[in-house]
Structure 1
Amino acid sequence: MFLLFFFVGSLQAVCPPGWLAWQDSCYIFMPHSMYWNQAEETCGRLGANLVVPNSKIEHDFVWQKFSIHLGMLDIEAKRMKLWIGCEMTSGNLTCIGVDGDPAYENWETGQPDSQDGCVRISDKTDNDGKWRITQCGVSRYAACEMAVPCGRAAMKFSLVPQSCLFNHLIKSYPVKESIGCGLACWAEPLCRSFNLWRQAGDSKMCQLNNATLLDADDVTDIKNEDNCFFYE
């Protein structure tokens, strides 16, 4: 049996497709508004947390990209309110992943007040994204942040002949080479394997799977397709 191996590891830091890379983190904006706890749960399912800006430059980056993101969705400025990973309880501010007070704060005048609630950013004053405590059970947009996965252990992928895995798709997109698909699988926390489809000309389609051949629930999920190459 012929096996082709290649390694994807920490020599190249990448963000999953659809995420924005900045310094040592990856960011993504939620397409719909939601409650604070829903936003944090959604980020958690992605292997991330609600963003907590730890400097003015990071804060300005997030707010600028968020404003552009909502502008592309044709969202009016007064609705541009963004949850961050901080909440106030009994007068104590806690932020996700922060021990003690956050390294950076950008409060509106008169904030934070004594009410319990969660922290959101908006452009109500000075158009630079001021912070305010508000009720956690109202809908706001959200941004997730996770560390660039450059510290993840290297992953070894092997080509499995005469096999392709179906019905376990996470996402798919075009790539130029198998290494590009391997990088994407390495950067995606849920990815366990991938299919590489050869298309017309030199184009290829990468499909990330959330299972390996051993995880397949049904033997009919495993097929032999002439234009499909499976790696795990």
Structure 2
Amino acid sequence: MISRYNHLTVLLLIFDAVFSSAAVCSPGWTNWKQSCYAMHSKRLNWMDATKFCENTGSHIVVPNSQAENDFIWGLVMDRLEYASLPMGGVWIGCKRETADSSFVCAEKTDFTNWTPGHPSAKVLCIVYGKGGNGTWRSNRCTNDSRRYVVCEMPNTAYCLTAGKNGRFVSGLP
């Protein structure tokens, strides 16, 4: 009877190995769900933050759920001492061109997490605000408004195939 269970376990392990994929982020990036995240160590204005992320093949982070929002806020708090976080906090990848227009985000989302009283009708960008425990505030996008930035990109999945001997025949490039 034990022998049958051992064979079943081996078959399940082989099945898992044959149909596995590995999600990978570059060094310095943190994997969560299907994305990779990296926080830049210097404060940048909106335009420079956008360019910085684009140059790494990513975009300024846009939370799509409370769970992702909490993860990103935790990442920020892990990287910074709370006292060093500016009042304007960390850029979120949504902006509007005029006070009368809607926010346009780097990726589609219906999720919001506004601090009470926000967004301000006059302000064009969104940030994680200090003291908001992961809530959002509207903020100026001017060149002198410098904030930290977290970049986001899809993680890369590689399919791993097992050969007849049970060893992987293809792997990471």
Tell me the TM-score range normalised by the shorter chain.
Answer: 0.7 to 0.9
TM-score normalised by the chain length of structure 1: 0.55
- Does residue 83 (structure 1) correspond to residue 91 (structure 2)? The answer is yes
Kindly state the Cα deviation for residue 76 of structure 1 after the two structures are TM-superposed.
1.4
- Does residue 42 (structure 1) correspond to residue 52 (structure 2)? The answer is yes
Residues 78 and 69 of structure 1: is their aligned pair in 2 closer, same or farther, counting only changes over 3 Å?
A: closer
TM-score normalised by the chain length of structure 2: 0.73
- 117, 129, 137: which is aligned to 2:134? 129
Structure 1: give runs of 5+ residues left out of the alignment.
1-9, 155-181, 187-232
CA distances 1:118-169 after superposition (whole Å, capped 9, x unpaired): 11102334xx222111111200000000001127x99xxxxxxxxxxxxxxx
C-alpha distance in structure 2 between counterparts of 1:67 and 1:14, whole Å: 23
Amino acid at match of 1:135: R
Q: Percent identity, please.
A: 34
Larger strand proportion of the pair = 1
Amino acid at match of 2:62: V
| Structure 2 partner of 1:67 | 77
C-alpha distance in structure 1 between counterparts of 2:56 and 2:73, whole Å: 21
C-alpha distance in structure 2 between counterparts of 1:95 and 1:113, whole Å: 17
Q: Is the 8 A contact 1:50 1:83 kept in 2?
A: yes
Q: Is the 8 A contact 1:88 1:133 kept in 2?
A: no
- Does residue 144 (structure 1) correspond to residue 144 (structure 2)? The answer is no
C-alpha distance in structure 1 between counterparts of 2:67 and 2:105, whole Å: 18
- Does residue 54 (structure 1) correspond to residue 59 (structure 2)? The answer is no
Residues 141 and 120 of structure 1: is their aligned pair in 2 closer, same or farther, counting only changes over 3 Å?
A: same
Kindly state the Cα deviation for residue 79 of structure 1 after the two structures are TM-superposed.
1.9
Q: How many positions carry a matched residue from both structures?
A: 139
Larger helix proportion of the pair = 2
Kindly state the Cα deviation for residue 78 of structure 1 after the two structures are TM-superposed.
4.8
Q: Is the 8 A contact 1:28 1:145 kept in 2?
A: yes
CA distances 1:160-194 after superposition (whole Å, capped 9, x unpaired): xxxxxxxxxxxxxxxxxxxxxx84xx5xxxxxxxx
| Structure 1 partner of 2:17 | none
Secondary structure of 1:39's match? Answer: helix
The runs of at least 4 aligned residues of structure 1 exceeding 6 Å deviation read: none
C-alpha distance in structure 2 between counterparts of 1:104 and 1:116, whole Å: 19
Q: Is the 8 A contact 1:87 1:116 kept in 2?
A: no
- Structure 1 residues 192-231: aligned runs within 5 Å: none
Kindly state the Cα deviation for residue 12 of structure 1 after the two structures are TM-superposed.
2.0
CA-atom RMSD in angstroms: 2.2
Structure 2: give runs of 5+ residues left out of the alignment.
1-19, 161-170
| Structure 2 partner of 1:199 | none
- 100, 112, 124: which is aligned to 1:105? 112
